[in-house]
């Protein structure tokens, strides 16, 4: 496994000359999220507020309904869409690292996770991983965090297995293989993620604008991390 500095250098080499398309690709999910939020406000929130003012509903009932809806389903749906978009972005950087792809098509590559067999795999892996991590978190928070790192490579494994065999991989096997692959490397990924803390602070200071460049940088670095993991355990 290469050092954190070497992994970041690989990511920057992939991004070199492709920053504009990388930023656009990672910006698409944010713009869609904003548009979705606006639609929800227009279709749901504003009508409820109007009904409240007319006395059809009391404000407390509306708040309770919106909180229960947003808390239960909102987080799951948001996480699922993040997984679908994130997988497509990560796979694009992985292909660039391997030389299998030479350019980024931001408005199509970002939707790679939504296509056919990939979408089903991401959805099932996301749901299974969420269940497993939640069950481990019941013991204590730390086991849940550890397991989230254990399962973090499942989307990459699903992608590679399908590309190599042409058949849909077993969903649970991808999670199991990720756990085996990350044995002895969870701490390395943890440190790799936390090395960006300074960049996160800078991005926050710039009112989030810095994330336009930080998001593709982190995604490309994580793809480099997976590419450099020893795959003998999956043989």
Does residue 37 surpass a pLDDT of 90? no
| Residue 40 confidence (pLDDT) | 67
| Residue 44 confidence (pLDDT) | 62
Going from N- to C-terminal start, the domains of the chain cover: 4-228
- In tens, the pLDDT along 65-104 reads 445 444 445 567 778 889 999 999 999 999 999 999 999 9
Does residue 235 surpass a pLDDT of 80? no
- 121's CB contacts (< 8 A; 6+ apart) are 155, 158, 162, 168, 169, 171, 174
H or E stretch covering 164:
helix 154-165
Q: Span 133-159, mean pLDDT?
A: 91
| Residue 31 confidence (pLDDT) | 85
| Residue 54 confidence (pLDDT) | 64
| Residue 232 confidence (pLDDT) | 73
Range with the poorest average pLDDT among 10-14, 38-42, 65-69, 133-137: 65-69
> Nearest-CA neighbor of 89 among 108, 102, 74, 62?
108
Residue 227, phi-psi category: left (phi > 0), alpha (psi -120 to 50), beta (remainder): alpha
Does residue 60 surpass a pLDDT of 60? no
51 or 173: which carries more pLDDT confidence?
A: 173
From residue 48, give the alpha-carbon distance in Å to each of 63, 154, 212: 10, 41, 35
- In tens, the pLDDT along 152-194 reads 999 999 999 999 998 999 999 999 999 999 999 999 999 999 9
Q: Span 40-63, mean pLDDT?
A: 60
Does residue 57 surpass a pLDDT of 60? no
Q: Span 202-211, mean pLDDT?
A: 90
Share of the chain above pLDDT 70, in %: 83
- In tens, the pLDDT along 21-31 reads 999 999 998 88
| Residue 72 confidence (pLDDT) | 47
Does residue 108 surpass a pLDDT of 90? yes
| Residue 63 confidence (pLDDT) | 55
How many C-beta atoms lie closer than 10 Å to residue 41's C-beta? Answer: 11
């Amino acid at each position: 496994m290469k050092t954190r500095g070497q992994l970041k250098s690989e990511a920057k080499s992939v991004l070199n000359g492709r920053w504009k398309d990388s930023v656009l690709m990672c910006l698409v999910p944010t713009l869609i999220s904003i548009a979705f939020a606006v639609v929800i406000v227009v279709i749901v929130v504003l009508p409820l507020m109007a009904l409240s003012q007319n006395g059809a509903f009391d404000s407390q009932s509306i708040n309770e309904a919106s909180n229960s809806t947003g808390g239960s389903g909102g987080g799951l749906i948001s996480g699922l869409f993040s997984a679908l978009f994130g997988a497509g972005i990560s796979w694009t950087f992985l292909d660039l690292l391997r030389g299998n792809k030479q350019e980024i098509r931001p408005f199509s590559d970002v939707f790679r996770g939504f296509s056919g067999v990939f979408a089903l795999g991401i959805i099932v892996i996301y749901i299974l991983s969420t269940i497993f991590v939640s069950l481990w978190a019941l013991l204590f928070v730390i086991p849940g965090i550890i397991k989230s790192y254990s399962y973090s490579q499942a989307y990459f494994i699903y992608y590679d297995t399908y590309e190599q065999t042409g058949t849909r991989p077993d969903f649970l096997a991808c999670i199991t293989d990720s756990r085996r692959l990350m044995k002895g490397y969870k701490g390395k990924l943890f440190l790799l993620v936390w090395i960006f803390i300074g960049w996160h602070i800078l991005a926050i200071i710039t009112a989030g604008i810095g994330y336009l460049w930080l998001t593709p940088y982190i995604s490309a670095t994580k793809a480099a991390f997976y590419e450099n993991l020893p795959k003998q355990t999956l043989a």
